[in-house]
Amino acid sequence: MSLFRKFFGSNEPGQGEEKESEYHQQAQPNMAVDELFTYNFKKNGGKFIYCENLDEVHEQFENILQENDWFESEAVCYEAKLFSMLDDNNVAHSGAPEPKFLLASCENLVADEGSILFSSKQIKQNKPNDLPSNIVILATTSQILESKSDGLRAIKKKYETDYPTNITTIKYFEKAKEEDFLQYGSAPKNLYLLLLEDL
């Protein structure tokens, strides 16, 4: 999907901000679902890093660790498939009381609101406010769906027998500049999305 490169140019963390002025148009009704997600996710304050392959995912994850000085720190991660990313960078993940960040996958990416859909498979029974304020998400382009209801249908189809609980979304990735009653009761998260091309 070269459209991500078109909008953001580089895939270095923090470099999407310079491209913001180039991509300031309003969301269009006929916008492709991946473009709509990208637009809304960035509008919500998320940090977006597009990766073409797994080598880029690992490289960009290391860049995030370096940018935030998280090497040899502690993280929380509930998914065994992601432990190697932490182990390779000397990041402990054994239930630290004050973790620096959460590393997780997600169920889906919701385009119409630019949010991340989670279940108990990624965050156990934690509420979004109970999670660390810094989050690194690994997702794929095939996980982008138009709406929350599409995401719920995908979860139902994916888990026919072992249906997950605690299905929730995280939508706000920076503190609102003005008081917004829609954000009441939700703590904004500093969220990095490593989006792997798989289509």
Mind listing the pLDDT tens digit for each residue in 114-156? 999 999 999 999 999 999 999 999 999 999 999 999 999 999 9
How do residues 12-48 score in pLDDT, each as one tens digit? 554 444 444 444 456 566 889 999 999 999 999 999 9
Structure token pair of residue 107: 């169920």
What whole-number distance in Å separates Cα of residue 182 and Cα of residue 197? Answer: 32
Structure token pair of residue 114: 């630019």
Q: Which of 197, 84, 195 is nearest to 139 (CA)?
A: 195
Answer with the residue of higher pLDDT: 49 or 3: 49
Percent of the chain with pLDDT strictly greater than 70: 78
Q: Which CATH class is domain 2-196?
A: alpha beta
- Inter-CA distances, 186 with 73, 108, 116, 119, Å: 26, 20, 14, 17
Q: What ranges do the domains of the chain cover?
A: 2-196
